[in-house]
Amino acid sequence: MPVIRSKLSVVMENHDPKLSIRKLAKDINYHFDSVRRMYKDEMVQYPRDLLLKLCLYFNVQPGELIGIEELNESDCTIEEVIGEDELSKS
């Protein structure tokens, strides 16, 4: 099952391995917690203004910050597995 994943950590590492999440948030004038959630791929929705600021900061296109990946069953949480099993019974 494909999922959308954040690639912010890779972009940051390629740009400057010493760049911290806190410094990035300050540099782009954005909430630290939102930048941290995107870095850790915990964000459910990607705010357009955050994507724009990151694109301008790193000089990249949105597709370099987020991408579609195939999710393996081993990557699923127990809730996702149970939810899919319940759906298949219906």
CA distances from 35 to 9, 15, 39, 45 (A): 10, 16, 6, 12
State residue 72's pLDDT score.
76
Task: Give residues with Cβ within 8 angstroms of 39, minimum separation 6.
Answer: 6, 8, 9, 12, 21
Residues 13-31: tens digit of each pLDDT: 999 999 999 999 999 999 9
Q: What domain count does the chain have?
A: 1
State residue 23's pLDDT score.
98
pTM value surpassing 0.95: no
CATH code of the domain containing 57: 1.10.260.40
